[in-house]
Chain A
């Protein structure tokens, strides 16, 4: 159909996830310069194919050429990457929820190396064209689904891609926004005729408008061609029918058009759900405004409306998840009560976003919910089997939901919502992303349930053909119900041809009525002008890309004042606690005496001990049994036994020994006690000798004069405070930087690393910088605290200390980055940081014992761990009055370890999904 060379060429491409094959030997050529649609049921490999083409996932077998080069070739990948834009499946999966609309687009613009002037112009144009200008300052997380998709498109279009890959861009988007979305794409294409667009979609009416289609099933291509070719090939009247007829016999058999027997309205129709002036306010924003309706038992009631109009909030109020600000609601005639467990058993609820356990398999999820709904144990297995069959899950029972496409996950959610055979189903967009065949099957089930079992169904949807199947529908907009009636009645009242037309008519009317400030829905075609391809040289290392991540991280940090406050205040509190709490000074040790002698001399011995500040005396011991008992209970740490005839033997010069029992449960303390007792014993003997022999007594042949340097009073505080700073500057920065990366992995935005020109090193350094800055602030705070509150003077060079701290926090954040490369979940990252930094920092870095005294692995770790060296510098500058010159040997390791760790992180981090 066109003479251009194909933009994408696939040769025998296969992809497996464990035992499951996602793609099987696909060979395909996609024409350039047109709209290519991928259609097919859920889980046939559309998304996998896209991620391979975009370079986001590593190729397993086969060959993929995109724009004239192999995607297995790293050089080609980074060369074409600036010309590809990839928008992954899921609402705003690659966006950052705390960043505003503008900041999100700006982030991507920077990643593609655009300068400020260019960025501002392009962002203004794109936001204008998508109607997002008015919401430029709104955080992306607070946007409705349709707006998120538009924002995702803006981010994808910011760098004038030649190949635009959109994975189900309109899933979960309301008809009005959807229409605007396609108009936007059309305009962009007319401005840039050379652009190729690849789209996966579940909407067949959308697919009908594409230039060229690829129909896929079970990891294989069924057929390709223009929509017209597909229709003629199959002899079908609609694309939906055409597709169904293309399916293999076995799959096709199950499918039949949904038949809806008319509802027999009973005059005494009891209300299953009733709502009166239900209102929900969040602050001064009214999400739901005086909504009233009455749904009869056995009725299928549809809820339609634009994204963010309050449908979900209304449903949540009915389930008791949210407490209504005002108004009332009844389920089965009873007022909604969040604590009413029995009502919950009669209701099945399905949330809009997937909310099942991604770490449990499909079967485990089903069984768990069956159990929680108290289905008798013997009925669980057949019931699970039945649900699996009904929803086509039998093939994927042992798979984790994360590995499943959206549509299959939705079906699982549905199966879970219906596992206990509820009398009422509240379903929030249950069919978003589900393929047409499965959707029909699902509707047949619902119709059967409603008509035969009188199950009440309250459903929200964006599909018009589904809305037409409802007994009654309500149109919602901006928190209010616009109109409520049977679908056919609505069409006639509005004088429209289709429900969609009627729906859009109502919405446009409401939007105009509502405000003049609302954005013009028509696309300003002049806004999207042809822009010369900006020269975005794909340099190997770009500071702009690096800083783009830094900015983003910094913004997120700034938006989270609690995290910032905790990071700053936390270290201060910890320093106070540990500075005062960790003390090696042993004082007031409890001791008791077992005095067999009971003479003046023996009592004097005990007084001698009791008089020192180190010991505090407890009631005397009567016998060994008591000694044993009290020591076992930890009541005394030291027991002194004075033998019978002590005074007599001492006078006579007969050898005599005082016994001292020390509680050895805490060896360090025991050693200290030993030292004290020995000292006190010697002192007592000397004094005794003086009393006996006068001052002429020989007190020893030589004297050892001990000079405690740097800390003359041997006090804990001056020794500990400089040691606490390195400890705090490793754990908190390491944890924050580790979480910052793993968070992106867990929440999905890591895909931006895979598909944008940013390199691994830029990504890591960019993420690291804000945490280095934060840690340096922390360092200043802690140093000020040490000097002012703890009165530990900084005797040496502050400049040396600050430089060392800077090098050190680079190391500690780099440790976090390395940890982030091998952990997948934030929990594991947190635990890993705790385990891998706390022990070496506290025990192996010379905080208590010097590294040279350690043994085994501890000694080895201690030698290289950065804390060791910074600790030496901190003590050197604080206590010993040293500067750069004296501490050279400690700076060198810090200089080496930091870059080494960052390099290691860059090597271990993957630039593609595997």
Chain B
């Protein structure tokens, strides 16, 4: 009979959710358009980087260099004067400002190794770093081509052939789309369960449930499966319709395996939601608590920046968060086509974290019941 109770309580949760059309619209938005926008906003790591050039040489070579910058990596360069340069960089108009000195071409031809100054706004970390590498390469190759026929170059040559696996063109929308789904999965599952519990408390319905022949375990399990199902369906649709079809991102591995992982992740996050719901006394408190838990979980999970760059301690602590394992699992399955033989440790971790969180929240739920009524 207990399984039936869990079923009925879950169906009730689903019905409640249906009664809030705004919520339904938001969920659809979060898993479709928001994913698409997030993915498409930055098609590549270096996209339309703003660059300005001070051309004090006005030679054939300097024109060549200016012409070498064009979309999509860079915007067509703006030609400015030296005094303008500082102002524009201060205002954050340009990330890069290139200063080609007078007599540059003459000095190059004379083998005097002139210096081009590249100013980079280093507050824009990623673009600054990647872009300056690109710019150096572009200038070097322009100068080299220009010199061909003028002089021969005798340095030993070994090429570097760079190939990116799994995403040959390093298309960021592949990454952005899926990571946005992951973020939304986590946020939605925590909000749905935790807020549903607080709502029941604020409306006095928990008290009502507690005099019925149902156990706290059944109440909790009902919420967990219903909300996890909603998020699971939303993420499956999002992955297949938005990511695979709309964004045409090739998915290497098995979607079924990924969804199995998602289900485990949801088990953990929905339990976490209930846990937060038992701690918060009101909805505003829950909202703050949510931010406090959700933001670090998302930022430090490895979906935004690589895990290995984080301090050791942070890496260790974050192993306790379900997100971390879910991000690893998602990257491995979806991009690298990894199978269960590779990602089983993440599955085990997620199952463990989920179980611990579930029982922790169940214990707290039982304990706080008296104060809810």
Which residue of chain A lies nearest to B75 when distances are taken between CB atoms in the complex?
A852
CB <8 Å contact, B119 and A355: no
B149 an interface residue at 8 Å Cβ cutoff?
A: no
B207 an interface residue at 8 Å Cβ cutoff?
A: yes
A889 an interface residue at 8 Å Cβ cutoff?
A: yes
CB <8 Å contact, B118 and A707: yes
CB <8 Å contact, B283 and A830: yes
CB <8 Å contact, B309 and A585: yes
A664 an interface residue at 8 Å Cβ cutoff?
A: yes
B232 an interface residue at 8 Å Cβ cutoff?
A: no
Which residue of chain A lies nearest to B24 when distances are taken between CB atoms in the complex?
A828
Q: Which residues of A contact B23 (CB under 8 A)?
A: 825, 827-828, 831
Q: Give Cα A573 to B292, complex, Å.
A: 8
CB <8 Å contact, A880 and B90: yes
Given contacts A351-B208, A657-B159, A658-B160, contact A710 B187 (CB under 8 A): no
B225 an interface residue at 8 Å Cβ cutoff?
A: no
Task: With both chains docked as a complex, state the minimum distance between the C-beta of B170 and any C-beta of chain A, in angstroms.
Answer: 4
| Segment from A20-28, A509-517, A631-639 that makes contact with B | A631-639
A240 an interface residue at 8 Å Cβ cutoff?
A: no
A579-590 interface bits toward B, Cβ cutoff 8 Å, 1 = contact, 0 = none: 011111111111
Which residue of B124, B188, B215 has the most chain A CB atoms within 10 A of its CB atom? B124
The 8 Å CB contact of A853, one of B15, B47, B184, is B47
B202 an interface residue at 8 Å Cβ cutoff?
A: yes
CB <8 Å contact, A655 and B157: yes
CB <8 Å contact, B165 and A710: no
A669 an interface residue at 8 Å Cβ cutoff?
A: yes
CB <8 Å contact, B331 and A858: no
B102 an interface residue at 8 Å Cβ cutoff?
A: no
Q: Give Cα A322 to B41, complex, Å.
A: 55
The 8 Å CB contact of A583, one of B27, B90, B310, is B310
Q: Which residues of B contact A674 (CB under 8 A)?
A: 130, 133, 162, 164, 170
A743 an interface residue at 8 Å Cβ cutoff?
A: yes
Which residue of chain B lies nearest to A660 when distances are taken between CB atoms in the complex?
B162
* Total contacting residues, chain A, CB less than 8 A: 159
CB <8 Å contact, B153 and A698: yes
CB <8 Å contact, B314 and A580: yes
The 8 Å CB contact of A345, one of B4, B27, B213, is B213
* Total contacting residues, chain B, CB less than 8 A: 150
Which A703-726 residues sit within 8 Å CB-CB of chain B? 703-712, 714, 716, 718-720, 722
A371 an interface residue at 8 Å Cβ cutoff?
A: yes
CB <8 Å contact, A581 and B310: yes
The 8 Å CB contact of B308, one of A589, A678, A843, is A589
| Segment from A217-225, A465-473, A560-568 that makes contact with B | A560-568
B305 an interface residue at 8 Å Cβ cutoff?
A: yes
Given contacts A341-B215, A357-B16, contact A570 B291 (CB under 8 A): yes
Q: Which residues of A contact B90 (CB under 8 A)?
A: 876, 880, 882, 886
A535 an interface residue at 8 Å Cβ cutoff?
A: no
| Segment from B238-246, B296-304, B354-362 that makes contact with A | B296-304
A844 an interface residue at 8 Å Cβ cutoff?
A: yes
Which residue of B5, B166, B183 has the most chain A CB atoms within 10 A of its CB atom? B166
CB <8 Å contact, B284 and A736: yes
Q: Which residues of B contact A854 (CB under 8 A)?
A: 41-42, 47-48
Task: With both chains docked as a complex, state the minimum distance between the C-beta of A714 and any C-beta of chain B, in angstroms.
Answer: 5
A625 an interface residue at 8 Å Cβ cutoff?
A: no
B44 an interface residue at 8 Å Cβ cutoff?
A: yes
Which residue of chain A lies nearest to B216 when distances are taken between CB atoms in the complex?
A339
CB <8 Å contact, B214 and A372: yes
Task: With both chains docked as a complex, state the minimum distance between the C-beta of B114 and any C-beta of chain A, in angstroms.
Answer: 6
Q: Which residues of B contact A584 (CB under 8 A)?
A: 125-126, 129, 305, 309
The 8 Å CB contact of B180, one of A354, A671, A839, A853, is A839
CB <8 Å contact, A739 and B12: no
Q: Which residues of B contact A357 (CB under 8 A)?
A: 12, 16, 205
A658-674 interface bits toward B, Cβ cutoff 8 Å, 1 = contact, 0 = none: 11111111111111101
Task: With both chains docked as a complex, state the minimum distance between the C-beta of B365 and any C-beta of chain A, in angstroms.
Answer: 13
Which residue of chain A lies nearest to B345 when distances are taken between CB atoms in the complex?
A633
CB <8 Å contact, B92 and A739: no
B195 an interface residue at 8 Å Cβ cutoff?
A: yes
B326-359 interface bits toward A, Cβ cutoff 8 Å, 1 = contact, 0 = none: 0010011001111000100000000000000000
Given contacts A667-B172, A705-B118, A839-B38, contact A354 B113 (CB under 8 A): no
CB <8 Å contact, A653 and B144: no
CB <8 Å contact, B126 and A848: yes
Task: With both chains docked as a complex, state the minimum distance between the C-beta of B230 and any C-beta of chain A, in angstroms.
Answer: 12
B63 an interface residue at 8 Å Cβ cutoff?
A: no
Given contacts A671-B170, A830-B195, A835-B29, contact A719 B16 (CB under 8 A): no
B34 an interface residue at 8 Å Cβ cutoff?
A: yes
B91 an interface residue at 8 Å Cβ cutoff?
A: yes
A849 an interface residue at 8 Å Cβ cutoff?
A: yes
CB <8 Å contact, A582 and B299: yes
B89 an interface residue at 8 Å Cβ cutoff?
A: yes
| Segment from A178-186, A358-366, A905-913 that makes contact with B | A358-366
Given contacts A589-B308, A633-B342, A824-B22, contact A850 B284 (CB under 8 A): no
The 8 Å CB contact of B213, one of A344, A354, A707, A886, is A344
Q: Give Cα A843 to B40, complex, Å.
A: 11
CB <8 Å contact, A372 and B299: no
CB <8 Å contact, B50 and A852: yes
CB <8 Å contact, B156 and A685: yes
Q: Which residues of B contact A743 (CB under 8 A)?
A: 283-284
CB <8 Å contact, B128 and A714: yes
Which A541-565 residues sit within 8 Å CB-CB of chain B? 560, 562-563
CB <8 Å contact, A657 and B160: yes
Q: Give Cα A345 to B120, complex, Å.
A: 73
CB <8 Å contact, B211 and A634: no
A731 an interface residue at 8 Å Cβ cutoff?
A: yes
B83 an interface residue at 8 Å Cβ cutoff?
A: no
The 8 Å CB contact of B167, one of A321, A368, A369, A664, is A664
CB <8 Å contact, B306 and A669: yes
The 8 Å CB contact of A372, one of B9, B47, B168, is B9
Which B140-166 residues sit within 8 Å CB-CB of chain A? 140, 143-144, 147, 153-166
B179-219 interface bits toward A, Cβ cutoff 8 Å, 1 = contact, 0 = none: 01001100110011001101100111101101111110000
Given contacts A357-B12, A633-B332, A666-B306, contact A850 B41 (CB under 8 A): no
Q: Which residues of A contact B364 (CB under 8 A)?
A: none
A521 an interface residue at 8 Å Cβ cutoff?
A: no
Q: Give Cα A641 to B118, complex, Å.
A: 33
A355-391 interface bits toward B, Cβ cutoff 8 Å, 1 = contact, 0 = none: 1111110001000110111100000000000000000
CB <8 Å contact, B195 and A826: yes
CB <8 Å contact, B295 and A574: yes
Q: Give Cα A705 to B167, complex, Å.
A: 32
Q: Which residues of B contact A316 (CB under 8 A)?
A: 373
Given contacts A739-B283, A822-B22, contact A701 B116 (CB under 8 A): no
A577 an interface residue at 8 Å Cβ cutoff?
A: yes
CB <8 Å contact, A719 and B289: no
A441 an interface residue at 8 Å Cβ cutoff?
A: no
Given contacts A668-B45, A827-B191, contact A570 B166 (CB under 8 A): no
Q: Which residues of B contact A342 (CB under 8 A)?
A: 213
B320 an interface residue at 8 Å Cβ cutoff?
A: no
B248 an interface residue at 8 Å Cβ cutoff?
A: no
B316 an interface residue at 8 Å Cβ cutoff?
A: no
Which residue of A735, A824, A855 has the most chain B CB atoms within 10 A of its CB atom? A855
Task: With both chains docked as a complex, state the minimum distance between the C-beta of A570 and any C-beta of chain B, in angstroms.
Answer: 5
Which residue of chain B lies nearest to A702 when distances are taken between CB atoms in the complex?
B143
Since A322-B373, A578-B296 are in contact, a sample of 6 more A-B pairs with Cβ atoms closer than 8 Å, ordered by chain A residue number, is: A357-B16, A589-B306, A665-B166, A704-B116, A826-B198, A828-B22
Question: 10 closest Cβ contacts across the A-B interface?
Answer: A858-B41, A664-B167, A664-B164, A711-B122, A584-B125, A359-B19, A708-B122, A675-B133, A355-B204, A566-B288
Name 16 interchain pairs, CB-CB below 8 A, sorted by A: A341-B215, A368-B11, A584-B305, A633-B338, A655-B157, A655-B159, A667-B44, A698-B154, A701-B113, A702-B113, A710-B122, A719-B125, A835-B29, A852-B50, A855-B43, A855-B47
